[in-house]
Structure 1
């Protein structure tokens, strides 16, 4: 297989895994408290990342105090914050709506960088932010004939999912602030290890051992840890090494599409015109954010 095609395929499969987390989180939310599920996810993934590091001969990075604090903040936001908020949101939101919201990450990341770093984005990035906002609003604002009849849909649930996306955008921002660049593999291992440590204490307050065992939720956590987390990492970076950053960025468009498709096929959720319109807006935002990033003015970080 052509190396470029293989790279696109690997990145696409990784993004399909990300899209599936919305549906899986729905099953997890029904049977496990959010911090307990998060801690269990990292307890499964962390030793696997350590084994992969040893197999590839990758050493742990040496970080100064500032970078260590930034990495801890990254794990708190992008690992624990994202997972806990997504699972909490999926208790209330429909998977179709959440899939559209999750797909806004490229545009939200550009917006966070603009607000936090004072960056002056290209017009394409501003357009991406506007389109992503429109995609979220068309799914979130209640009422009207466009909406699908989601019994479980909730403005609060959608807000929690969006907060999870903001946490992931903060992860990206904090990673750009590191003085010592950390390779993807040890960074993923650090995120899982620190995330496990951060999630364990609040998980204990949830007393999950007193709740009845939910096999569906446990299988969901196992899938989350093995497929989107570990296998997704391997696929994404194997693919990204073979294609350009713009091509890899375009594959993120599969997140909202796959999430809505999984919601319809696996959960049998009705998908209305509002969700389809939201997906269209988010796809446009991904395109603009991807190509707008390539035209980012000099002098920005």
Structure 2
């Protein structure tokens, strides 16, 4: 299996775990306060990632103050910012709609990479991104449920919070792409998680003081363990591995899988209503991913052909 195929599979699995986090987060919020849940999650993940990094990549790579600054920005936007805005947003909207809104990441990531990283995109790649975004829009526009989740608070409040998480997710990918030139996927994931944990720590301690730790059941504790191990440890490493192997435009389109996985899992586990608009949107997202990855394969063939002629 080629490196590109491994990157595609890695990103697909990573974004599927993100989609599953919408369902798990709904369950977590029924028992745990936001900052405490996030602090425990990132604490567990930081320990596991550090142990893994210690035994596989010693000595640790050296990085400059500039690299450390980017790591801090990555953690602030893509770890803390994403988690806080997502968890608050989930209180005011459904897991299905949250996955839909979050998957506007392809457009946001591509615009940021186009404007700031000067990454060129072909017409076919833009078409793939637009198809993914249209699929997300179809899911949103062709489903007309506007019932408030929290009485007195309109759903657009949740929409704005989740879209804020989208921006954090986009910056998470962009900063990760920049760092991938100097650090391994495991190294980025480890230090980003450790810094994120330290950012959450003061707020987690404050909520822990008044929290009854005997209240959650074993199953409810396992939700946080799943979030830490599957979504954070495995998801982060797989995502940054994929991001390091492909253009930002390609990784951007793969974030559309969030919508697909969150829709299916919300339908299965949360019994949220599945509508025809969902199906149309899912098909558009998958076609968009196919178009974009196909274009990249053609670019690689052309580059290889040019090398042979040279």
Determine whether 1:147 maps to 2:150: no
- Please point out which of 254, 258, 263 is paired with 1:260: 263
SS at match of 1:268: coil
- How many Å apart are 1:189 and its aligned residue? 0.7
Aligned pairs, number: 287
- Following the alignment from structure 1 to structure 2, what is the Cα–Cα distance between the partners of residues 54 and 271? 45
- Following the alignment from structure 1 to structure 2, what is the Cα–Cα distance between the partners of residues 85 and 274? 26
Deviates more, 1:117-126 or 1:63-72: 117-126
CA contact (8 A) 2:92 2:148 kept: no
CA contact (8 A) 1:252 1:286 kept: no
- Following the alignment from structure 2 to structure 1, what is the Cα–Cα distance between the partners of residues 25 and 86? 7
Q: Could you say which residue in structure 2 is the equivalent of 1:157?
A: 158
Stretches of structure 2 that go unaligned for 5 or more consecutive residues are: 304-310
- How many Å apart are 1:270 and its aligned residue? 0.5
- How many Å apart are 1:165 and its aligned residue? 2.1
- How many Å apart are 1:258 and its aligned residue? 1.8
Mapping 1:141-290, distance limit 5 Å: 146-148=143-145, 152=149, 154-178=155-179, 181-205=182-206, 207-212=207-212, 213-215=215-217, 218-233=221-236, 245=246, 254-290=257-293
Q: Could you say which residue in structure 1 is the equivalent of 2:109?
A: 109
Stretches of structure 1 that go unaligned for 5 or more consecutive residues are: none
Q: Could you say which residue in structure 2 is the equivalent of 1:23?
A: 23
CA contact (8 A) 1:40 1:221 kept: yes
TM-score (norm 1): 0.79
User: C-alpha offsets along residues 112-134 of structure 1, whole Å, 9 cap, x if unaligned?
Assistant: 21233455532234334433443
User: C-alpha offsets along residues 120-154 of structure 1, whole Å, 9 cap, x if unaligned?
Assistant: 5322343344334434444445xxx7435765382
TM-score (norm 2): 0.77
- Following the alignment from structure 1 to structure 2, what is the Cα–Cα distance between the partners of residues 223 and 171? 21
- How many Å apart are 1:233 and its aligned residue? 4.6
- How many Å apart are 1:68 and its aligned residue? 1.1
- How many Å apart are 1:78 and its aligned residue? 1.2
- How many Å apart are 1:72 and its aligned residue? 0.7
- How many Å apart are 1:39 and its aligned residue? 1.5
Q: Could you say which residue in structure 2 is the equivalent of 1:94?
A: 94
- CA, structure 1 residues 22+116, in 2 after alignment: closer, same or farther (shift >3 Å)? same
- CA, structure 1 residues 257+284, in 2 after alignment: closer, same or farther (shift >3 Å)? same
CA contact (8 A) 1:107 1:125 kept: no
